[in-house]
Amino acid sequence: MENENKKPYQLQREFNIRKIVITSFIVIGIIAVVIIFSLYIADENFRKWADINVLRKDIMSEDVPTIDLNTDKNNQIFCYNKNICILNDKILKLYDASGRETLDISVDINTALFASNDNYLALAEQNGQEFCVISDKTYLWRDKVDGEILQININKNGYVALVTTDTTYKSIITVYDSAGKQLLRNFLSSTSVIDVTISNDNQYVAFAETDTSGTLIQSNIKILSIEKATSNPEEAIIYTKENEASKMILKVQYQEKNHLICVYDDTIDMIKDETETQIVTNDDTMTFLSGNLKNNIAYIKEEATGLFNSNSVLNIINTSNNQHTTYNFDEIAKEMYTYGNVIGINIGTEIYFVNTNGMLIKKYTSNQEITNVILSNELAIIIYKDRVEIIDL
């Protein structure tokens, strides 16, 4: 009878012990995860080891899908979103991330200028008249212009800026909405447009121009209001920045919050609310600079690690909060590619893909020299003479 009375107590005691053991394992597991995650964030050497050995972010050429190319044709290759496109014989063929052909689109374009933004692709006949816009796999609209097309740009909403030239004007900027309706035209008789960009809210068009009529080359930046251009074209230009003759503008890029990034030969500046601020100054240790990102600028500096050795440091600066992030390479960078939130660093037969938080996305190793890479936010394509290799980011 006494043993029978002890059974409930023993069962409860065993249950409590099991509960304590299980809870302890859970707590230890949570602590271990927190410690590992903290190490991953804080310790760069541990993070690099975990990326390669635990997370398996290291991929080889034989591990990725490929698209075989007909080397007898003039293949023009680009990627946007999750699509790869190959243009030849006026046929644009679309492929998915696995290398499977998904669509053929007939376009009246031989030699293409490509521009993309998120889901949109714009392409135009270089030094021709024809251009068109595609959204994902849908052919939206096409148009034909007078003169010769020099540049094309598209924002994330499908608005297009086209730069053309004719016998009267050195540069003509024409802007279209996402349906193909012409919104404005701006004529430049004595200056040439170096680059053009449309803000993400569809309100502004910024362009960099150079004037070569004088003894010294003069470069300027101007901002057009699309609204004012439609109502009062004479007041369309709302901002002008005339640079020193020695300062050459290379690229302009609208980012989030209408931050206009201006890449010069010696600095990267930002124009916000008609005020220009210098973000970084180029020096002899900088090898690559880019503002072609969603909300950041990036540059690479070489640092000496010994008498005959150097490595590369990728520097990323958030243009909204000025946060500075770095990623170190033990090799010398041969090229840098940027798009959206992705940065690619080519070191020869290897390429690192890093996000704008300074975290490794993928490391790709090829069995031959890498010379041609194109990025979207979803894909990277490595282009060789006879094939395209696809890396899903």
Provide mean pLDDT across the span 269-294. Answer: 89
- What is the predicted pLDDT for the residue at 306? 62
Provide mean pLDDT across the span 43-70. Answer: 78
Tokens coding 182: 């012409």
Sheet holding 335-339, edge to edge: 58-60, 360-365, 350-355, 342-346, 335-339
Provide mean pLDDT across the span 249-266. Answer: 93
Residue 244, pLDDT > 90, answer no
Residue 182 pLDDT class (50, 70, 90 cuts) = very high
- The whole-angstrom separation of Cα 137 and Cα 103 is 7
Residue 2, pLDDT > 60, answer no
Confirm if 295 and 280 have CB atoms less than 8 A apart. no
Q: For 90-117, give one letter per residue: b (16+ CB within 10 A) or e.
A: eebbbbbbebeeebebebebeebbbbbb
Residue 148 pLDDT class (50, 70, 90 cuts) = very high
> For the chain, first and last CA: distance in Å?
70
Residue 65 CA, distance from chain mean position: 22
Residue 1, pLDDT > 50, answer no
Report for 18-22, 265-269, 280-284: range of highest mean pLDDT: 265-269
- What is the predicted pLDDT for the residue at 216? 80
Burial tier of 275 (Cβ tally within 10 Å: 0-12, 13-18, 19+): exposed
- What is the predicted pLDDT for the residue at 55? 63
Torsion from C-alpha of 382, 384, 386, 392, nearest 10 degrees: -10
Provide the β-strand partners of residue 280.
Answer: 268
Of 78-92, 118-132, 160-174, 291-305, which gets the smallest average pLDDT? Answer: 291-305
- The whole-angstrom separation of Cα 20 and Cα 27 is 10
- Checking 233-239 for CB contacts under 8 A at 24+ apart, the result is 233/184, 236/184, 236/186, 238/204, 238/274, 239/271, 239/274
- What is the predicted pLDDT for the residue at 319? 94
Question: Whose structure tokens read 């004595």?
Answer: 190
- What is the predicted pLDDT for the residue at 7? 62
Of 54-58, 135-139, 315-319, 380-384, which gets the smallest average pLDDT? Answer: 54-58
- What is the predicted pLDDT for the residue at 20? 74
Confirm if 337 and 373 have CB atoms less than 8 A apart. yes
- What is the predicted pLDDT for the residue at 368? 93
The reported pTM is 0.85
Of 41-55, 293-307, 321-335, 356-370, which gets the smallest average pLDDT? Answer: 41-55
Residue 330 pLDDT class (50, 70, 90 cuts) = confident
Residue 84 pLDDT class (50, 70, 90 cuts) = very high
